[in-house]
Structure 1
């Protein structure tokens, strides 16, 4: 029996790329879409194609009336947590591709997931190459003491840093060695220009978020030692295609555990 999918953000940038991929996958079945501006329509028609037989709802709560196994969420930071909580309480597995949630949010989601014996996978980026950036950066942090992150995105991106940058910073803060840079509390001038902090004390990771035209998404992890530097960088293009395969992999796997996992790298091996 195919895994039945509700897709929240079905008419959005990534959602539009996922719809045909889901239709082509013999082991997955898209049973409902969520897109407030197209509620009540057939999803195929909402996307400018032939009728698909997939209904569109205004909210995840309404879509949950359709029998389903997994919710995939590519919506907005302001609604993704409520969407995930509703799906977990209904016993669905949840795949989150929406950015904007932090460690405290995922701790709350983990508690609810365990209470309802459901699984959740959240990734700041479902691209395989972006996942490799995280893996390589975590390996480098074992050997190079100092690291900071530059997070690039378009001028209109709502959240800062991106989900990719946040996930990477939180992961690095757990494994890095104490920094040699001057503590921000000792900085004169405008200390805020040293970036946002993830983690605590000398192990915190500083993230500098740039929001400028011509960027889509990019993350640059800079490691430095005396007289040498290592830069590990990922840049995304204008297409949502890189995120499709990783999202479908997560949808296939998320019913296999209870609680929250963060990062596509948790599935790669």
Structure 2
């Protein structure tokens, strides 16, 4: 069975890396592409490859969905990903979300919409296999070490904070870790905001977001016990290649889901 894919964000960092791979896979078909800046171009030219795909880039997802398709892959921007996802769901498409910036309330709304329509949505803060292992190892450590905080590094131009990787990690850690021994932010004097933001249920996990030149994406979970510390860190390179394999896995598996599933680790085993 061939899976027809619409690539929203075809001119983006990951979108450009995904297009030639989708074209090369026998079980995948590029059915549509979206980019306001490249509207009217062939998807191959928009993605920076020499191959002509026969797919014309649409200025909006609504236009792209006029063509039959199965899965929408969204690597766009935080201010449009929710609307794109809800639109795709309303049209009966499964969705793979690689864009960060969504919160717990957004995901709850998406889950309800997807279940009502009987489609699947897979959202991951990071589709890299090694970033997924960061989360898995951190969750293992949290069962033994209650004090954990996250440092989230990204470029100075990244518009959302924390990153999807850090937010997803914090929310999952908050579900499994025991109560921290550090003072809650409400009891901190001076400038309490310097302690970062609590992300996740209950007291949450403190996240500190750095936005500076020279960083691409890095996420660091720091665990502390008396007289010892453990740091688990993932650093992304300058290529989008690490995100391709995980996204392809999600494209192939999302149609077997009903409702929202968060995290690539849900598909790894």
Evaluate the alpha carbon distance shift between residue 200 and residue 245 of structure 1 in structure 2; reply closer, same or farther with a 3 A threshold.
closer
Q: What are the within-5 Å matches in structure 2 for residues 28-107 of structure 1?
A: 28-48=28-48, 49-107=50-108
In the alignment, the residues of structure 2 paired with residue 52 and residue 94 of structure 1 have an alpha-carbon distance, to the nearest angstrom, of 22
Does the 8 Å contact 2:15/2:47 carry over to 1? no
SS where residue 246 of structure 1 aligns? helix
Q: Is residue 246 of structure 2 the alignment partner of residue 252 of structure 1?
A: no
Deviation (angstroms), 1:47: 3.4
Range 183-192 or range 148-157, more displaced: 183-192
Deviation digits for residues 37-88 of structure 1, max 9, x if unmatched?
A: 1112211233342321011101111100010000000000000000000111
Residue 200 of structure 1 deviates from its aligned partner by: 4.5
RMSD: 0.9
Q: d(CA) in 1 for partners of 2:225 and 2:208?
A: 19
Q: How does 1:97-246 map to 2 (within 5 A)?
A: 97-201=98-202, 203-246=203-246
Aligned length: 268
CA contact (8 A) 2:175 2:201 kept: no
Q: Is the 8 A contact 1:31 1:55 kept in 2?
A: no
Asked if the contact 1:122/1:263 (under 8 Å) is kept, the reply is yes
DSSP 3-state at the match of 1:38: coil
Structure 1, unpaired ranges of 5+? none
Please list every run of 5 or more consecutive structure 2 residues that lacks an aligned counterpart in the other structure: none
Cα shift readout 1:82-134 (whole Å, capped 9, x = no counterpart):
00001111111100000000111000000000010000000000000000000
**Distance in 2 (alpha carbons) for counterparts of 1:156 and 1:24:** 32
Is the contact made by 2:90 and 2:117 (CA closer than 8 Å) also made in structure 1? yes
Query: Structure 2 length as normaliser, TM-score?
Result: 0.98
| TM-score normalized by the length of structure 1 | 0.98
Deviation at 1:199, TM superposition (A): 2.8
